[in-house]
């Protein structure tokens, strides 16, 4: 404003020309390329191997989503899931993390983890939120592998857990399943890892894994038994209840224990064991030490079961190992044969007399025992249930018997059972009573009395006729005779009354005899029925079936 | 097209900093300074073409990891998930958010890509002294410059998410390596657009047959 005429345009100031400049701007793409190379290199470096996994189904496998976890750490991701060429299974490819590469060896296992609820456990609950994932268990082999076949079920014990596997053989599976706990002194010491039927279909092979601190308690002599549920046993010993734990009641379980005096050296991995159904059976003496005897009974064996005790005056010395009919074709007879195992250790005297006895001495000893009346007898161990047991006892009145040492096994003489004996005696009494000719005796007596009465009457008539003829002396004698006759008649009348079929005495006697006979019969019925239906004592007489 | 007189034809140049007009001295090789603020003066942005090329190449290089590497890592109770830009777009598309998927696709993939292509094309045509569709190329340059600031959308979203979603143990979101590359791409293209001198588009029209202007 103060200067109305604008000044002239200035000219740019000239600086001396600069030295040649490095075009710094090209550093930028070089740096960018370096960064790009670095990122690519790092990604390539971090990228582990690609593995293929075979699964039966693709359930839950999502490409780009499903993770592969090892020890609950992500080690990879399923990248594609496609059907195998023949359509029989699903092939998934997985991009593994670099650090997982050494874990991908020959015996590495993969399986699909999804939520699973079984009787004993709820597993994989986290997958409800995060979705199914693939579990991995690193193997120990040193041989690398890139294609795997996925397991159907998650392995119960991962390979890294210290411990040892053992094989059990059982007749039935019971409530055992993969994952069923194995208890040692009621501590969970391991798990069932697998089971399968053997090739013949006769037995089950059950694999158990015992964890590290407990596996050294498994020795050659260790016994395994099924601790599933409640072991309620009703035997000749009465009612027995055993259980391992509350979990075992619900979900089943196995248990093991080494009987005292057993080998203390740990068994090698993979050792075979028998799985016993109960603890009591498992801890019994091994049957190799047992002496087998054979018993032959003619009476019914209803109520006797395999495993029933063999008892000597209250001490169990053995058990019944088999019951079978013994057909004698020549004699056309069917007997019942019971094999018993007797454990000599349980009969050891304090002097260990039987311990170092020679075979011949032992036989002589048993022969002497038999001579003294040692017999086997069936006895009722439990009146309520009718369970029988085999009792060994001395019967001094028993007839002579000998052991057939040639028999395999040798046969011990038997004595009829106590209840059987009572029944037989009662039957004998009843039969004898039946044979008494009571009616004949009564008729004979009656006839005799009748004859006596007619004689008396005839004598009386004679006396009366004589009365008119006779002298006084004679009359006196006749009178006396008449009186005697009257007395005799009274006596006869008394006798007749006594012997009348409705006379109280005879009636009483007959009633008593009849009662006795009926009682004998009832007793026989009762014993028969109890033998047939031991439960009748508890439940009453069973309904007659038409 | 009607030709207008340019400042250079009139023997004038302006200061980039304070806008002062000045006469171009006769010594062309000399380094010029603003007579008012002493800032270096150039007829055109110095080394515009090579700088633009360098920045475009850098952006193109980084565009690859930006799209291939995970953009963000979401860790939550539901698992850990890494998303690239494209997998995010696919996820949005599959879950039905088509408009959002389109926005992310355009803002994060198409725009940087088109910017790089557009700048490369502009630079190539300038280098080849093309006289065709000058007007359109100028408009394209304006669009490229305008759009530049908006392609940081992804970075903004991730920045906000990382800051907001950080419930320890429940869910966390982390920016992945692609976020850095992607940010670099956006910044580099913005710088490339800045370093490009749109006057170069018009220059071939004024100095037909003459050698290219330099410095
Ligand atoms: Zn200036």
pLDDT tens across A350-398, in order?
555 555 567 778 788 888 888 888 888 888 776 667 778 888 888 887 7
Q: Which residues of A touch B69 (CB under 8 A)?
A: 39, 43
- Listing DSSP states for A184-244 in one string gives ETTEEEEEEEEEEE-TTSS-EEEEEEEEHHHHTT-BTT-EEEE--S-EEEEETTEEEEE-S
Q: What is the pLDDT of residue A40?
A: 80
Query: Mean pLDDT for chain A?
Result: 76
How crowded is residue B171: how many other Cβ atoms within 10 Å of its Cβ?
13
**Long-range contacts formed by A491-495: CB under 8 A, 24+ apart:** A492/A449, A492/A452, A492/A453, A492/A456, A495/A445, A495/A449, A495/A452
Going by C-alpha positions, the residue among A322, A184, A169 that lies closest to residue A258 is A184
Q: Is B171 on the interface with A (CB under 8 A)?
A: no
**Option in B20, B58, B181 nearest A29 (CB):** B58
pLDDT band at A5 (very low <50, low <70, confident <90, very high): low
pLDDT band at B91 (very low <50, low <70, confident <90, very high): confident
B184: nearest CA partner in chain A: A32
pLDDT band at A251 (very low <50, low <70, confident <90, very high): low
Mean pLDDT, residues B203-214 taken together: 58
Alpha carbon of A10 to ligand 1 centroid (Å): 11
| pLDDT per position as a tens digit, A356-366 | 567 778 788 88
Q: Which residues of A touch B30 (CB under 8 A)?
A: 14-17
| pLDDT per position as a tens digit, A144-184 | 888 888 887 777 666 667 888 888 888 877 777 777 888 88
CA distance A1 to chain B (A): 19
pLDDT at A399 exceeding the cut of 80: no
For residues A447 and A18, the model is more confident at A447
Please, are residues A181 and A190 in contact by the beta-carbon 8 Å criterion?
Answer: yes
Fill in the DSSP letter of residue A5. Answer: S
Q: What is the pLDDT of residue A355?
A: 55
Is the ipTM value over 0.85, yes or no? no
The residue assigned the tokens 């997958």 is A127
pLDDT at B121 exceeding the cut of 80: yes
Q: What is the pLDDT of residue A467?
A: 62
Terminal alpha carbon distance of chain B: 27
Give the gyration radius of chain B's Cα atoms.
22
pLDDT at A544 exceeding the cut of 70: no
Q: Which of A11, A12, A128, A134 to mutate to test the interface with B (most CBs of B within 10 A)?
A: A12
% residues pLDDT > 70 (chain B): 85
Fill in the DSSP letter of residue A15. Answer: E
**Option in A12, A25, A36 nearest B35 (CB):** A12
Mean pLDDT, residues A427-438 taken together: 79
Q: Is B46 on the interface with A (CB under 8 A)?
A: no
Mean pLDDT, residues B173-194 taken together: 85
């Amino acid at each position: 404003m103060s200067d109305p005429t604008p000044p002239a345009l200035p000219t740019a100031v000239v600086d001396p020309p600069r030295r040649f400049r490095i075009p710094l701007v090209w550093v930028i793409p070089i740096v960018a390329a370096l960064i790009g190379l670095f990122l690519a290199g790092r990604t390539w470096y971090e990228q582990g191997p690609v593995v293929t996994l075979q699964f039966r189904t693709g359930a839950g496998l999502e490409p780009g989503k499903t993770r592969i976890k090892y020890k609950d750490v992500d080690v990879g991701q399923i990248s594609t899931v496609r059907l195998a060429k023949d359509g029989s299974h699903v092939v998934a490819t997985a991009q593994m993390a670099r650090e997982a590469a050494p874990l991908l060896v020959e015996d590495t296992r993969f399986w699909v983890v999804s939520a699973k609820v079984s009787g004993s456990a709820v597993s994989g609950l986290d997958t409800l939120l995060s979705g199914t994932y693939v579990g991995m268990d690193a193997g120990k082999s040193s041989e690398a592998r890139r294609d795997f076949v996925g397991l159907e079920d998650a392995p119960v014990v991962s390979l890294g857990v210290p411990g040892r596997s053992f094989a059990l053989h059982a007749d039935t599976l019971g409530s055992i399943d993969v994952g069923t706990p194995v208890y040692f002194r009621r501590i969970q010491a391991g798990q069932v890892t697998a089971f399968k039927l053997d090739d013949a279909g006769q037995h089950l092979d059950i694999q158990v894994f015992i964890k590290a601190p407990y596996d050294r308690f498994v020795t050659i002599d260790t016994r395994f038994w099924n601790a599933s549920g409640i072991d309620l046993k009703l035997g000749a010993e009465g009612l027995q209840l055993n259980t391992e734990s509350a979990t075992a009641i619900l979900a089943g379980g196995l248990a093991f224990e080494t009987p005292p005096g057993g080998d203390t050296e740990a068994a090698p991995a993979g050792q075979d064991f028998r799985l016993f159904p109960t603890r009591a059976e498992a801890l019994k003496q091994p049957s190799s030490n047992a002496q087998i005897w054979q018993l032959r009974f003619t009476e019914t064996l209803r109520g006797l079961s395999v495993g029933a005790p063999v008892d000597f005056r209250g001490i169990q010395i053995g058990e019944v190992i088999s019951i079978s009919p013994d057909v004698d074709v020549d004699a056309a007879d069917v007997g019942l044969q019971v094999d018993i195992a007797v454990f000599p250790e349980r009969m050891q005297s304090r002097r260990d007399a039987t311990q170092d006895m020679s075979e011949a001495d032992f036989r002589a000893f048993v022969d002497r025992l038999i001579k003294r009346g040692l017999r086997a007898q069936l006895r009722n161990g439990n009146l309520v249930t009718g369970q029988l047991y085999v009792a060994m006892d001395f019967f001094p009145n028993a007839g002579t018997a000998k052991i057939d040492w040639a028999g395999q096994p040798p046969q011990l003489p038997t004595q009829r059972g106590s209840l059987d004996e009572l029944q037989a005696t009662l039957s004998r009494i009843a039969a004898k009573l039946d044979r008494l000719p009571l009616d004949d005796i009564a008729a004979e007596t009656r006839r005799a009395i009748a004859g006596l009465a007619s004689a008396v009457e005839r004598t009386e008539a004679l006396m009366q006729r004589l009365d008119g003829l006779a002298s006084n002396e004679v009359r006196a004698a006749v009178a006396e005779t008449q009186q005697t006759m009257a007395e005799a008649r009274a006596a006869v009348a008394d006798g007749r009354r006594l012997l009348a079929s409705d006379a109280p005495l005879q009636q009483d006697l007959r009633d008593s005899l009849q009662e006795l006979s009926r009682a004998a019969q009832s007793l026989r019925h009762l014993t028969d029925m109890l033998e047939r239906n031991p439960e009748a004592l508890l439940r009453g007489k069973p309904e007659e079936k038409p | 097209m009607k030709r207008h007189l340019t400042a250079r034809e009139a023997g004038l140049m302006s200061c980039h900093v304070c806008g002062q007009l000045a006469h171009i001295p006769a010594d062309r090789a000399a380094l010029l300074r603003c007579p008012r603020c002493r800032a270096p003066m150039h007829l055109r942005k110095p080394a515009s073409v090579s700088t633009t090329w360098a920045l475009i190449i850098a952006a193109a290089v980084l565009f690859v990891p930006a799209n291939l590497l995970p953009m963000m890592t979401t860790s939550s109770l539901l698992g850990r998930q890494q998303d690239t830009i494209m997998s995010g777009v696919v996820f949005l598309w599959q879950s039905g958010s088509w408009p959002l998927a389109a926005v992310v696709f355009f803002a994060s993939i198409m725009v940087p890509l088109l910017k790089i292509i557009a700048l490369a094309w502009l630079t190539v045509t300038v280098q080849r002294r093309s006289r065709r569709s000058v007007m359109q190329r100028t408009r394209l340059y304006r669009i490229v410059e305008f759009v530049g600031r908006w392609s940081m959308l992804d970075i903004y979203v991730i920045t906000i998410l990382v800051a907001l979603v950080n419930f320890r143990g429940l869910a966390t979101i982390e920016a992945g390596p692609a976020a850095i590359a992607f940010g670099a791409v956006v910044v580099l293209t913005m710088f490339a657009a800045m370093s490009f001198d749109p006057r170069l588009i018009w220059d071939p029209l004024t100095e037909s047959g003459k050698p290219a202007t330099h410095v």
